[in-house]
Chain A
Amino acid sequence: MPALPLMRVGVWLIVLGLFVTPLALVVALAAGGNQIPVLLDQGLGTAVWNSTYTTLLSALGATVVGTAIALLLDRTNARGTTVLRLFLLSPLLIPPFIGAIAWLQLFGPNQGLNRFFGTEIWNIYGADGVTFLLVLHSYPIVYVIVAAGLRSIPSDLEQAARISGAGTSTVLRTVTLPLLRPALLSAFTLTAVANLADFGIPALLGSPARFETLATMIYRFMESGTVANPLQTVSTIGVVLLFLGIASVTADHLVSRWAGSKLQDTGQALRFDLGAARWPVTIVAWVLGLAVTLGPIMGLAYRALLPAPGVPFTMDTITLDNFRRSIANPRVVEGFSNSVTLALSAAVICGVLGWIIGLLVTRTRFLGNTALTLTVLLPTALPGLIIGVGWLILGRYTGTYNTMWVILGAYVCAFTALVLQAVRAPLQGTPLAVEEAARISGAGRLWALLSTTGAMAIPAAFSGAVLVAVTAVRELTVSILLIAPGTTTLGVQVFNLQQAGNYNQASALSLMFAVVGIVALALTVRSPKVRS
């Protein structure tokens, strides 16, 4: 068999084993018995309703906020946008559950600002807190998608409207926003799916107020033993979420194909003059940027510097003990070393797998390429808990349950998409002629592919792999159902410290998470290579 088809068969076997099997097991288990009555009895109706409206509201909010910020930063003459961008995008660098822990310190009942003012300004527990945090942690994704959409609008189209008599706001309304429609749709879909799947935020901010979503319901069934057959029960929820995920991945695929075909990239973009509103808008944006960046950090620092809950914050009482103790905590140390090992291994495997799949689906014409792409992208649209459940079942069958292998497998399944997304665009943009030049110079098909287009995509695959490592090292949702004594991860340890009421150590760890994330962003921004 020639080399290229052999590689294709190998890739398909890996994808079937790591992606399709665990998800198929979830479906198979759910099909094995009717758990709907049990679920309804356990409050499925409320959970579905809660999930639906927080998801839709937060996705809508994130789309509006993210689009406004994209227009503000990239298309107006507001001042100081380079630094402002870092502040406004900082929630992207903090895992959502860490963000929830941080805002909890500011707006929890009788905490932070509520305590400071002596009266309850806002109680973050409940639907409003969950929605707020979901918006906060998804608008940066909207920004990234919409900013790319804005860059792809040829500036001629807007200038043609100007010269036809349209003022800046009319240009925005009649030309810019209509042309952004595919990007807005895609941003809304992606954030809606991500928010539906989020576990950390509703677990930390919803559960204490008895506000349950589908994700926290799955966790409750798995952890508390309130139902007789938890795996089958959660698989039933999983199937519903799986079909929602498939629908959204397919929709996004169609939208991006439709949108990508006609608009070409251009140089310099039109900037809208804010006129008299320039300074007010700049000030509001800066206040917002500082609030979303410094707010959580200050909340965490406040909590982390106190020795115990309830102690007043004075120069005499503050201490670094929580940092010292959390770093020395043997379970934290174990979680840290496990997370680093898992993240690095996942980065290498995902990097290579994503790179090869990217080459196959963009540079060869073959039946099943679309199916391969969608299968690999599907986990991005699924709650991490469902991937966890799938691997839990798979682990039981293969005897890998209670080992690191099952977590690593779940990570590869969950995160290969990040590499595929990173390599797809540069691969699609590489002209076919570079491979044809290698073929005419005597290279075989596979070698022509690997040595030209493949080699050119290595930097993108590397960026994707770095993203996998950064995501996996602070991940909570995929591993929370898969950990066993000796195989816990860092994210789960922080979550458990918070749930166990050790707020001070949890905050100290969260603060370290947040600061490391923000420093990482500052470094990436300084080296433009990684950014592109």
Chain B
Amino acid sequence: MSSIDIHDLTVTFPDGTTGLADVDLQVHPEEFIALIGASGSGKTTLLRTIAGFIAPSKGHVAIDGRDVTDVPPEKRRMGMVFQQHAVWPHMSVAANVEYPLKRGGVDKRERGQRVERALELVGMGGFARRRPESLSGGQRQRVALARAIVADPTVLLLDEALSALDEPLRDSLRRELVSLTRREGLTTVHVTHDRAEALSIADRIVVLGEGRIQQIAAPAELVSRPATAEVAAFIADATLLDAASLPVEPSEIIGSGETLTLAVLPHMVEVLPPGEDGIPAQVRSVLYDAGDWSLTLDALDTVFRATVRGTRPEVGDPVTMRVTGPLGYRS
């Protein structure tokens, strides 16, 4: 399996807007990378540039140390799964999966065996002769996955590959995807807008914002120590506020600069009965979340998130809020 080296990658669209700016990223062999970010952050642009569908205006993409920046997509030997599965409706399941092998000049007998094995791997053995229109959405996505891995690709690219599926099917396919990529030793780049999904399946997560990499980190580090205030807000639902408006010492200060911004993550907020020592707040909303109550609180002219156990708080209840150890960001 292959490594991906992305160096100084910049994409400017024909209308002048920036798709990516100075992106550097190294993906190790057999690593599972998730790209996340708000819509318009550049995550899909980065994936499509790796695939070769978008030509960068500056920078390089290399696979196993070989520069492929000017190599067209069909010569990159990659596998890709699209959001809307993109299974060809005019071909049988077997013909869909066989397609990359045919293009690669694999001889007929070997093609048959490899198609069969790829279909077995994604749990679609016995479906070879079926037409795509007779399959469910989840089955089509499995066929697309088989097609993406059948030719032993250098890299597996997943473009919101699970997003079109409904829970709980999505969860089970997510688990199968993880075990399949690990077992087969695939280098995988997965674009998703689902934070929980990225955190649960990736070895490392790349957070993009406005075409730039905001942070590259393993899931646990990303959650406990976001690199910027924006990443803290995006990944961990942190409330951001000026240091002057919250008289609490930060547990850690990241970065350098004049302004200090505090990021308050939900687990740093303790909710107490009204009248206790702390910041007066009011309950704005209450959601049930797997045994806990997930709250939003109005306080200090902004909205905080918190989690409590036990009795259900009511909307409008006055409470006291205590914040401990927020993260400080200098900029």
Interface of chain B residues 142 through 192 with chain A (CB within 8 A): 144, 147-148, 151, 157
**Residue B77 CB within 8 A of the other chain:** yes
B84–A156 contact, CB under 8 A? yes
- Distance, CA A164 to CA B144, complexed state (A): 11
A163–B88 contact, CB under 8 A? no
Nearest first, the 3 closest Cβ-Cβ pairs linking A and B are A165-B103, A156-B86, A164-B100
B72–A164 contact, CB under 8 A? no
Give A273's nearest chain B residue, CB to CB: B72
* Contact flag A163-B79 (CB < 8 Å), given A170-B103, A174-B99, A263-B89: yes
**Residue B133 CB within 8 A of the other chain:** yes
* Contact flag A165-B86 (CB < 8 Å), given A170-B103, A174-B99: no
Between-chain CB contacts (< 8 Å), 6 pairs: A154-B84, A159-B82, A163-B74, A163-B80, A170-B74, A178-B90
Chain A's nearest CB lies how many Å from the CB of B247?
Answer: 50
- Distance, CA A157 to CA B133, complexed state (A): 15
- Distance, CA A69 to CA B89, complexed state (A): 25
Chain A's nearest CB lies how many Å from the CB of B119?
Answer: 16
* Contact flag A162-B72 (CB < 8 Å), given A154-B84, A156-B84: yes
A159–B88 contact, CB under 8 A? no
Chain B's nearest CB lies how many Å from the CB of A501?
Answer: 55
- Distance, CA A165 to CA B106, complexed state (A): 12
- Distance, CA A266 to CA B157, complexed state (A): 20
Binding site for A on B (CB under 8 A): 51-53, 72-80, 82-84, 86, 88-90, 99-100, 103-104, 133, 144, 147-148, 151, 157
B86–A162 contact, CB under 8 A? no
A163: chain B residues at CB < 8 Å are: 51-52, 73-74, 76, 78-80, 148, 157
B77–A165 contact, CB under 8 A? yes
B103–A160 contact, CB under 8 A? no
Chain B's nearest CB lies how many Å from the CB of A80?
Answer: 16
Partner of B88, one of A157, A167, A266: A157
A175–B103 contact, CB under 8 A? no
A264–B100 contact, CB under 8 A? no
* Contact flag A165-B100 (CB < 8 Å), given A154-B86, A160-B80: yes
Interface of chain A residues 163 through 220 with chain B (CB within 8 A): 163-167, 170, 174-175, 178-179, 181
B78: chain A residues at CB < 8 Å are: 163
- Distance, CA A164 to CA B100, complexed state (A): 4
Give B103's nearest chain A residue, CB to CB: A165
A160–B86 contact, CB under 8 A? yes
B73: chain A residues at CB < 8 Å are: 159, 162-163
Chain B's nearest CB lies how many Å from the CB of A497?
Answer: 52
Give A163's nearest chain B residue, CB to CB: B80
- Distance, CA A178 to CA B91, complexed state (A): 9
Chain B's nearest CB lies how many Å from the CB of A23?
Answer: 38
- Distance, CA A371 to CA B311, complexed state (A): 65
A263: chain B residues at CB < 8 Å are: 89
B84: chain A residues at CB < 8 Å are: 154, 156, 264, 266
Chain A's nearest CB lies how many Å from the CB of B139?
Answer: 15
User: Other than the known A163-B51, A178-B90, what 12 A-B pairs have Cβ atoms closer than 8 Å?
Assistant: A156-B82, A159-B51, A160-B88, A164-B99, A164-B151, A165-B75, A165-B103, A166-B74, A170-B74, A170-B103, A175-B88, A262-B133
0/1 interface trace, chain A 264-276, chain B, CB 8 Å (1 if under): 1010000000000
- Distance, CA A266 to CA B88, complexed state (A): 15
- Distance, CA A174 to CA B148, complexed state (A): 17
Give A266's nearest chain B residue, CB to CB: B84
- Distance, CA A421 to CA B133, complexed state (A): 28
- Distance, CA A178 to CA B99, complexed state (A): 14
* Contact flag A179-B74 (CB < 8 Å), given A160-B82, A165-B103: no
* Contact flag A166-B133 (CB < 8 Å), given A156-B82, A178-B90: no
B75: chain A residues at CB < 8 Å are: 165
Which size bracket describes the interface of A in this complex?
A: 20 to 34
**Residue A227 CB within 8 A of the other chain:** no
- Distance, CA A167 to CA B89, complexed state (A): 20
B83: chain A residues at CB < 8 Å are: 156
* Contact flag A262-B147 (CB < 8 Å), given A154-B84, A163-B51, A167-B72: no
B89: chain A residues at CB < 8 Å are: 179, 262-263
- Distance, CA A156 to CA B53, complexed state (A): 11
**Residue A86 CB within 8 A of the other chain:** no
**Residue A4 CB within 8 A of the other chain:** no
Chain B's nearest CB lies how many Å from the CB of A154?
Answer: 6
- Distance, CA A160 to CA B79, complexed state (A): 8
- Distance, CA A166 to CA B99, complexed state (A): 9
Give B157's nearest chain A residue, CB to CB: A163
A174: chain B residues at CB < 8 Å are: 99
B104: chain A residues at CB < 8 Å are: 165
A156: chain B residues at CB < 8 Å are: 82-84, 86
Give B85's nearest chain A residue, CB to CB: A156
- Distance, CA A451 to CA B77, complexed state (A): 55
**Residue A161 CB within 8 A of the other chain:** yes
Chain A's nearest CB lies how many Å from the CB of B84?
Answer: 6
Most buried by A among B75, B86, B89: B86
B99–A161 contact, CB under 8 A? yes
Chain B's nearest CB lies how many Å from the CB of A102?
Answer: 40
A170: chain B residues at CB < 8 Å are: 74, 103
- Distance, CA A410 to CA B52, complexed state (A): 57
Partner of B53, one of A159, A175, A179, A266: A159
- Distance, CA A236 to CA B76, complexed state (A): 64
A162: chain B residues at CB < 8 Å are: 52-53, 72-74
* Contact flag A164-B74 (CB < 8 Å), given A159-B53, A174-B99, A262-B133: yes
A262: chain B residues at CB < 8 Å are: 89, 133
A161: chain B residues at CB < 8 Å are: 74, 88, 99
Give B95's nearest chain A residue, CB to CB: A174
A160: chain B residues at CB < 8 Å are: 80, 82, 86, 88, 144, 147
A264: chain B residues at CB < 8 Å are: 84
- Distance, CA A161 to CA B100, complexed state (A): 8
- Distance, CA A264 to CA B82, complexed state (A): 14
Give A167's nearest chain B residue, CB to CB: B74
Chain B's nearest CB lies how many Å from the CB of A463?
Answer: 30
- Distance, CA A163 to CA B148, complexed state (A): 9
Most buried by A among B73, B76, B148, B151: B73
- Distance, CA A170 to CA B74, complexed state (A): 10
B79: chain A residues at CB < 8 Å are: 163-164
Give B105's nearest chain A residue, CB to CB: A165
A166: chain B residues at CB < 8 Å are: 74, 99, 103
Chain A's nearest CB lies how many Å from the CB of B55?
Answer: 11
A179–B90 contact, CB under 8 A? yes
Give B83's nearest chain A residue, CB to CB: A156
Chain B's nearest CB lies how many Å from the CB of A162?
Answer: 4
0/1 interface trace, chain A 478-503, chain B, CB 8 Å (1 if under): 00000000000000000000000000
Chain A's nearest CB lies how many Å from the CB of B187?
Answer: 15
Chain A's nearest CB lies how many Å from the CB of B61?
Answer: 14
* Contact flag A165-B82 (CB < 8 Å), given A174-B99, A175-B88, A178-B90: no
- Distance, CA A174 to CA B95, complexed state (A): 11
Chain B's nearest CB lies how many Å from the CB of A17?
Answer: 42
B90: chain A residues at CB < 8 Å are: 178-179, 181
B157: chain A residues at CB < 8 Å are: 163
- Distance, CA A179 to CA B91, complexed state (A): 10
- Distance, CA A21 to CA B144, complexed state (A): 54
A164: chain B residues at CB < 8 Å are: 74, 79, 99-100, 103, 147, 151
Partner of A157, one of B77, B86, B100: B86
